[in-house]
Homo-oligomer: A and B are copies of this chain.
């Protein structure tokens, strides 16, 4: 018989991994709740008509498609079949696909439920998504996304609160982070004043290299991308932008003075940064013009979070987008959101070993099983300790002591209760601390105190 396996790019999560992941999800969830976000869930399967065309051609190819039940050949001519056109026939064979992200299903949800929803709608969603991507280190075909979005409000207070939430989550997790913010409108303004709108990505890439390659080489790279000398000259204050966020904003106000959209971006960033400065958040917030994520998607503020103590890509990101639901026929709904990268945060916490002991501990107390009579004595005690909220179990079989203790060790159980003839006669249990080796004869009240303290 073949050894069973799982599809490539997917994972089993064993108890310790689950406990760690739950610690992360619960921390994020608590913060979402404290900020008034409510959870929704959408089905794993969406109609392909909902998913197709939303992620570009490349995205369409990465959708997992689900074969129709029953006779999926009906209505197909011999010619169509023999064409062997995999893409075209897939659309005949399949009507449903697995969700690719949480954003499109959310947009679909908002449109379908618009009449029940009270706007602004603050929702969060923690669910897996699936992508038929080539699996590689740190990239999976099934992974969780953790998204919080506010839709139906243009207020920049939403951006401020999302940044506070990022700070709160990573403060609780004990991860030192830097929050980078930028604004799509500032980038548009830069493109506008130098008259090279379509070169904005080349420009941000080049600016990003300043530290590494120096000003001269940055300018050479810009020239090699076909940017005019005049435009490069105009870009100098932006390439050399430095100092505090306030200083940067002041420079930008001079450079972008003639661009309406650019000045709007500066104003928005100023609002967000000034409000955040009132709230003494722990993380560093930095205006970073090289941040250019999802340019085709975001329309206002954009942000990204970097861990300071681990070399890894951004662990959280987001921004403001207009017209989330336009593609489903509901116009004029602006939104802003963040997405926590659960898998990367998991890697960061593992590397820094930041899990609190109580978050990953399972069973606290195990009763050794010496036989039916002894087990009968232990069962009511188990009921009592569980009523005291202690996670407890009895080894189910009267196996050899060594085996039972090995099980307790494997499960990292801190306390073991040993009950034999003597203990039963005295109405007590022998409690062993597995870390110190210490043993003491205790009654049920002392037992509960010892384990919960």
Judge whether A112 is part of the interface by a CB distance below 8 angstroms.
yes
- Whether the Cβ atoms of A120 and B396 lie closer than 8 Å is yes
- Whether the Cβ atoms of B164 and A96 lie closer than 8 Å is no
Known interface pairs A47-B5, A64-B66, A383-B164; A392-B36 also in contact (CB < 8 Å): yes
Judge whether A254 is part of the interface by a CB distance below 8 angstroms.
no
Chain B nearest CB: distance from A283 CB in Å?
14
Residues of B within 8 A of A376 (CB): 275, 278
Judge whether A93 is part of the interface by a CB distance below 8 angstroms.
yes
Chain B nearest CB: distance from A418 CB in Å?
17
Across the interface, A362 reaches (CB within 8 A) one of B33, B78, B93, namely B33
Using CB atoms, name the residue of chain B closest to A50: B4
Chain B nearest CB: distance from A113 CB in Å?
7
- Whether the Cβ atoms of B113 and A329 lie closer than 8 Å is no
Q: Is the interface of A mostly helix, strand, loop or mixed?
A: mixed
Judge whether A351 is part of the interface by a CB distance below 8 angstroms.
no
- List, sorted by A's number, 25 A–B pairs whose CB atoms are closer than 8 Å: A4-B111, A5-B50, A5-B112, A6-B50, A12-B109, A12-B113, A14-B113, A14-B116, A15-B40, A19-B39, A22-B39, A44-B98, A44-B128, A45-B64, A64-B69, A66-B98, A71-B84, A71-B86, A76-B84, A120-B396, A155-B397, A157-B369, A278-B376, A278-B379, A279-B380
Closest 4 CB pairs of A and B: A36-B393, A15-B38, A10-B43, A118-B410
Q: Which residues of A contact B (CB under 8 A)?
A: 1-7, 10-15, 18-19, 22, 33-36, 38-47, 49-50, 61, 64-67, 69-73, 76, 78, 81-82, 84, 86, 89-90, 93-96, 98, 108-109, 111-113, 116, 118-120, 122-123, 128, 130, 132, 141-142, 150, 153-155, 157-158, 160-161, 164, 168, 275, 278-279, 328-329, 362-363, 366, 369, 375-376, 379-380, 383, 386, 389-397, 406-407, 410-411
14 additional A-B residue pairs with CB within 8 Å, beyond A64-B66, A118-B411 = A6-B42, A7-B96, A12-B113, A13-B40, A15-B38, A67-B67, A67-B93, A71-B84, A73-B86, A81-B81, A155-B396, A157-B394, A158-B396, A279-B380
